Structure 1
Amino acid sequence: MPIKIGLVGAGEVTQTIVLPNLRLLSDLYEVNALCDISQQTLEHVSTKFNIKQTYTDYTQMIEEGDIEAVMVLTADEYHAPIAVEALQHKKAVFVEKPMALSQQAAALIIKARDENNGVVFVGYQRRYSPAFEEAVQIVRGMSSISYCRVRDIIGPNSIFVGQSGTFPRKYTDFPETSSADMKRRSSEIAEQALGSAETDSQAYNLYRLLGSLGSHDLSAMRELLGIPKGVCGVSNTTPSNAGGFFTAMFDYGGFVAMYETGVDQVGLFDAHIEVYGDGKRVKVEFDTPYVKGLPVKLVVGESDKDGRYIERVVRPTYEDAYTIEYKAFYDAVRNGKQYKTTADDARCDLEIFKMITDAFVRQDK
């Protein structure tokens, strides 16, 4: 029986990735409701995807909509309050990463989940790709690791979205109060996470980059290697979601992991994780999620007994990671199946974000 679901947030990701996938999974999902603060966005998306119930107030959708689950696809500032309210109304929750941006907000989500015996499934689609899961098994079986590189350097999303064949539209008819409300929520996050309500600092810009682009990589790194012991050092660059580059080196005891991230103007999606150990190199290559069907690849390189380099490329499936992830959410809600991207798991990312940001702040003193 399909899950009756309502979506909060009808922006680019919803139009390009989420709704096209849910429509193709019509045996699993019935999209009954849509909420967005832009009336023009609501009208366009609901018409395009034939969604009957529309709302500009997520509370009203949660209380009145013919739904049993909520997908949280809004700006990051609103993830936690929407998730908590949905759980309090006995709705299963799928929340895109980052689940929350402060330990206090994460604790509220976990508390609401536990009090209502709810499901909180966090959207880390890369971790559901079979190529990544196969790499996890190989890496966890290594007797020793020498080095790891985590890279996510990409061009503007507009390049990939423009060639996705989904034709999303953007509107700007936002309520007059929305900008001030977002600024207030951003200040609260800054105060809770970093101890200062200042939202134009380099530290806060870095923290928000880690919560957006960085959370994909750092969450996957955690599953492969665990939480690092600390940060050996960071670059003195000043990145943000708008561009720039940043590098951090993590201490894993017997080895280090180098994290490289940035946004430039080149139309290339260069995202991978590579682990060196046991005489082999194990690499997972990710492509843009905005173009459906691009496979995630596993590349294993090693030398044979004669010193010849042998490279094995594995494409376990052409089914995209979002589709696999949405199937896992269905199984969690309908069949009570265990899943790995829980609220408790997602909360661990905040520890790494803070670890990196603290190292960045220390180097400036």
Structure 2
Amino acid sequence: MKVALVGCGAVTQAVYVPLLSRRRELFEVTAVCDLSRTLAGAVGDRLGVARRHTELGEMLAEGGFDAVLMLASGSHGEPVRQALAAGYAVLCEKPLALTEAEVAALPEGRLMVGYMKQYDPAVRRAEELLAELGGAAVIRSVEVTVLHPSAEAQLGFANLTQARDVDAAPLRAAEDAILDRALGAEAGPQVRSVYSVALGSICHDLSLLRRFTGSPVKVDHVETWGSLPGSIEISGPLPVAGRYSIRWHYLEDYPAYRETVAVHHDSGTLELAFPAPYLMNAPTVLTAVSGAETRAEYRDVTEAFETQMLAFHAFVTSGKPPLTDAAGALEDIVTAQRIAARYAVQHDLALGGEAGDR
């Protein structure tokens, strides 16, 4: 399958370039696109791709590929709209967009949204075990803890090419304009930070909640402390039974990313311990605890990002539905807006836009 890459930054260099290089029997990269000529050149060199673009419309018009991997940072709403309108299948890294309006503007087409943790073999095994136990109805609580170092700390091993030939100010202004539509122009830095963390990082945990029990329908409590982005605590009821709690901590100098998701049910616990997301083939460990302290561990070094890429290939070539489409991504946007709205109400902070109606 011939694919084009849009966005040649950290995740592309650290994850997608190695994966695409070793799965050449399934994927041929025929074009790359980035606002930075430096990044487009670096990724083009590593993949042996001659067609290097700095303008998405030009690349889409030239064609020569079947699908687009949308890997740039920020909101992907408008570039995904352009790619779908041009007739291409799209794998879009999370988040799909920052507003409900961007999702509503998408045309019909083949769209898969990438939440790689949903494709982790330990997560899939946890889903199977939970189903055997009785599914969402037996859940007492889902408790999430994320310890999040700086991006530089997580990616120090990757020797990334940096972009120094792009003025970031217009990009920040465009993103702020989209956030204005999501949160209202008067929303302050605290609300914007909570929303950005929810859609940029906590969305992975929201995607797991969707798999285990469905998206939360209510957010009861949101608190933050420490210098932005600091620490965030979120809790509320699950849609079938039980409650969820999420504690996310930005710890700039923490030695390694760590994330645990514990599903406590009527007869025990299923706990997932995730490694740093950019370390290829590092296993997620699933520990199942049941009666009389019986413990069983499951781990698999199959790379979640690679399994996600294989799922995208099956989606495009044989129509197998993805685990998350536009509707699933929209659920996460709505949940993130409810998180921002609850935080604003609790602290008497300004809020408008789409989140003002949540």
Fold equivalence (TM over 0.5): yes
Shift of 1:86: 0.7
Residues 88/229 of structure 1: CA separation in 2 closer, same or farther (3 Å cut): closer
* Structure-2 residue corresponding to 1:9: 7
2:275 paired with 1:287 = yes
Q: What secondary structure is seen at the aligned counterpart in 1 of 2:176?
A: helix
- After superposition, give the CA deviation of every residue in 1:152-190 in whole Å (9 maximum; x if it has no partner): 222223223223xx422112101x4x522x234223322
- Work out whether residues 187 and 198 of structure 1, in 8 Å CA contact, stay in contact via their aligned partners in 2: no
- Work out whether residues 222 and 343 of structure 2, in 8 Å CA contact, stay in contact via their aligned partners in 1: yes
Which amino acid letter does the alignment assign opposite residue 120 of structure 1?
A: L
Which amino acid letter does the alignment assign opposite residue 131 of structure 1?
A: A
Q: How many pairs does the alignment contain?
A: 343
Which amino acid letter does the alignment assign opposite residue 340 of structure 1?
A: L
Choose which of 134, 150, 163 in structure 2 pairs with 1:171. 163
- After superposition, give the CA deviation of every residue in 1:19-66 in whole Å (9 maximum; x if it has no partner): 111111111110110111111222222112211110010111111131
Structure 1 Cα separation of the partners of residues 273 and 121 of structure 2: 12
Which amino acid letter does the alignment assign opposite residue 158 of structure 1?
A: E
* Structure-1 residue corresponding to 2:118: 127
Structure 2 Cα separation of the partners of residues 236 and 324 of structure 1: 35
Residues 221/69 of structure 1: CA separation in 2 closer, same or farther (3 Å cut): same
* Structure-2 residue corresponding to 1:349: 332
- Work out whether residues 17 and 43 of structure 2, in 8 Å CA contact, stay in contact via their aligned partners in 1: no
- Work out whether residues 118 and 208 of structure 2, in 8 Å CA contact, stay in contact via their aligned partners in 1: yes
* Structure-2 residue corresponding to 1:312: 296
Choose which of 56, 59, 64 in structure 2 pairs with 1:58. 56
Which amino acid letter does the alignment assign opposite residue 88 of structure 2?
A: K
- Work out whether residues 190 and 198 of structure 1, in 8 Å CA contact, stay in contact via their aligned partners in 2: no
Shift of 1:238: 6.2
Which amino acid letter does the alignment assign opposite residue 93 of structure 1?
A: V
- Work out whether residues 14 and 73 of structure 1, in 8 Å CA contact, stay in contact via their aligned partners in 2: yes
Residues 244/236 of structure 1: CA separation in 2 closer, same or farther (3 Å cut): closer
Shift of 1:144: 2.2
Choose which of 300, 313, 316 in structure 2 pairs with 1:333. 316
- Work out whether residues 72 and 96 of structure 1, in 8 Å CA contact, stay in contact via their aligned partners in 2: yes
- Work out whether residues 187 and 199 of structure 1, in 8 Å CA contact, stay in contact via their aligned partners in 2: no
- After superposition, give the CA deviation of every residue in 1:122-160 in whole Å (9 maximum; x if it has no partner): 010000112101212333424522222012222223223
Structure 2 Cα separation of the partners of residues 232 and 71 of structure 1: 36
2:82 paired with 1:99 = no
2:243 paired with 1:246 = no
Structure 2 Cα separation of the partners of residues 357 and 238 of structure 1: 17
Residues 92/102 of structure 1: CA separation in 2 closer, same or farther (3 Å cut): same
Q: What secondary structure is seen at the aligned counterpart in 2 of 1:93?
A: strand
Structure 1 Cα separation of the partners of residues 227 and 5 of structure 2: 31
- Work out whether residues 206 and 215 of structure 2, in 8 Å CA contact, stay in contact via their aligned partners in 1: no
- Work out whether residues 145 and 277 of structure 1, in 8 Å CA contact, stay in contact via their aligned partners in 2: yes
Q: What secondary structure is seen at the aligned counterpart in 2 of 1:153?
A: strand
Which amino acid letter does the alignment assign opposite residue 63 of structure 1?
A: A
* Structure-1 residue corresponding to 2:26: 28
- After superposition, give the CA deviation of every residue in 1:243-302 in whole Å (9 maximum; x if it has no partner): 411001112274221101122021122212111112210111211121111012211012
- Work out whether residues 224 and 231 of structure 2, in 8 Å CA contact, stay in contact via their aligned partners in 1: no
Moved more, 252-261 or 273-282: 252-261
Q: What secondary structure is seen at the aligned counterpart in 1 of 2:105?
A: helix
Shift of 1:364: 1.0
Structure 2 Cα separation of the partners of residues 292 and 262 of structure 1: 23
Structure 2 Cα separation of the partners of residues 129 and 283 of structure 1: 14
Moved more, 250-259 or 49-58: 250-259
Shift of 1:198: 4.6
CA RMSD of aligned residues (A): 1.7
Q: TM-score, normalised by structure 1?
A: 0.89
* Structure-2 residue corresponding to 1:230: 218
- Work out whether residues 151 and 271 of structure 1, in 8 Å CA contact, stay in contact via their aligned partners in 2: yes
Which amino acid letter does the alignment assign opposite residue 209 of structure 2?
A: M
- Work out whether residues 53 and 65 of structure 1, in 8 Å CA contact, stay in contact via their aligned partners in 2: no
Which amino acid letter does the alignment assign opposite residue 233 of structure 2?
A: T
Unaligned runs of 5+ in 2: 349-358
